[in-house]
Structure 1
Amino acid sequence: MSLLALATESFPMNERDLDAVAALEASLQAFPWSRGNFADSLAGGHSVWVLRRGGELLGFSVVMQVIDEAHLLNIGVAARHQGCGHGARLLSQAMERAKLVGATKLFLEVRPSNERAVELYRHFGFRQIGRRKAYYPATDGREDALVFDKELA
């Protein structure tokens, strides 16, 4: 079967995914979430999903919901699969899932240096509502976070 014939599908993340998701995160970030962070998200009942084609992990998303608000905690796509619409698919599905369980707004933070992500969020109608000073660790100290939100209703 050719790679093109394989369907790309989303699945709820489970314990068996933790090592692969943590490895993917480590390949994407200078200061990645640990395996334990992902395990805690699973144990905490967050909406955690993986995107796969065949057995290959393409990406993941983690959303925490509190009453009628949701917070995109983490999202990532394997470097060699970026620019193919997988991030947009993960984000769109995260918004739909949050809406289905009663969220009316989705929040997120993003590094200003992550221009590709900022562009994706703006494309989806997110608006910048704030800035958190020195929020993220960085190789030269700390980096601010841009805070975005989007109405889901």
Structure 2
Amino acid sequence: MSLPDSLARLHARAFAPTGRGWSAAEFAYLIDAPHCCLRHETYGFALSRVIAGEAELLTLATDPEHRRQGIAARLLAAVESAAMDMGADRQFLEVAADNPAARALYSAFGYAEIARRAGYYARPGGTPVDALVLSKELTP
């Protein structure tokens, strides 16, 4: 199985049933881009991009059967380090307001809310959920 296929499969598992998993084609496009950075392990991955000194965490996914084992924390630290190596001094991300585990992780890493996108995430058969835009200064 190709890396984009593996990422797409894991992403779909990680975001089911509340979100749409990204396709293998989407991952292939992103991981081939010169400004994107992928850090991955068997049960998780983080994907970011760095442009003009700013990094954006595009997605962070952990296999649901392997959560609460430090995988997401390792991947977030790795992608932050890579972003700094690529010249970023700040990282942004967005997280669903109804995702307390991810919000706790980002808070523990020093991210702070800077904006809110009302009703940004669609929920199958439910009310859309706000996206919280978080930011953190990256320091070596």
Task: Please say whether Structure 1 and Structure 2 have the same fold, judged by a TM-score greater than 0.5.
Answer: yes
Q: Does 1:19 align with 2:8?
A: no
The alignment partner of 1:73 has SS state of strand
Instruction: Please give the alpha-carbon distance, in whole angstroms, between the structure 1 residues aligned to 2:81 and 2:11.
Output: 23
Paired residues, number:
134
User: Given residue 18 of structure 1, which amino acid in structure 2 is its aligned partner?
Assistant: P
User: Given residue 79 of structure 1, which amino acid in structure 2 is its aligned partner?
Assistant: P
What aligned pairs does 1:57-68 form with structure 2 within 5 A after superposition? Answer: 57-68=42-53
Q: Does 1:82 align with 2:67?
A: yes
Instruction: Please give the alpha-carbon distance, in whole angstroms, between the structure 2 residues aligned to 1:112 and 1:131.
Output: 9
Q: Does 1:39 align with 2:28?
A: yes
Instruction: Please give the alpha-carbon distance, in whole angstroms, between the structure 2 residues aligned to 1:33 and 1:142.
Output: 19
What aligned pairs does 1:62-141 form with structure 2 within 5 A after superposition? Answer: 62-139=47-124, 140-141=126-127
Instruction: Please give the alpha-carbon distance, in whole angstroms, between the structure 2 residues aligned to 1:146 and 1:124.
Output: 15
Query: Which moves more between the two structures, 87-96 or 133-142?
Result: 133-142
Contact 1:31 1:137 in 2 (8 A): no
Instruction: Please give the alpha-carbon distance, in whole angstroms, between the structure 2 residues aligned to 1:43 and 1:101.
Output: 15
Deviation at 1:141, TM superposition (A): 4.5
**TM-score, normalization by structure 1:** 0.83
Tell me which structure has the larger Cα radius of gyration.
Answer: 1
Render the CA deviation track for 1:43-67: whole Å, top value 9, x for unaligned. Answer: 322102211xxxxx21111101111
The alignment partner of 1:102 has SS state of coil
User: Given residue 72 of structure 1, which amino acid in structure 2 is its aligned partner?
Assistant: L
Q: How much is the aligned-residue C-alpha RMSD, in angstroms?
A: 1.4
Regions of 4+ moved over 4 Å: none
The alignment partner of 1:31 has SS state of coil
Contact 2:39 2:78 in 1 (8 A): no
Contact 1:31 1:138 in 2 (8 A): no
Query: Which moves more between the two structures, 143-152 or 129-138?
Result: 129-138
User: Given residue 42 of structure 1, which amino acid in structure 2 is its aligned partner?
Assistant: I
Instruction: Please give the alpha-carbon distance, in whole angstroms, between the structure 1 residues aligned to 2:22 and 2:7.
Output: 10
Name the residue aligned to 1:50: 40
Higher relative CO (Cα under 8 Å, sequence separation at least 6) belongs to 2
Instruction: Please give the alpha-carbon distance, in whole angstroms, between the structure 1 residues aligned to 2:134 and 2:33.
Output: 23
Query: Higher strand proportion, which one?
Result: 1
Unaligned runs of 5+ in 2: none
Deviation at 1:142, TM superposition (A): 2.3
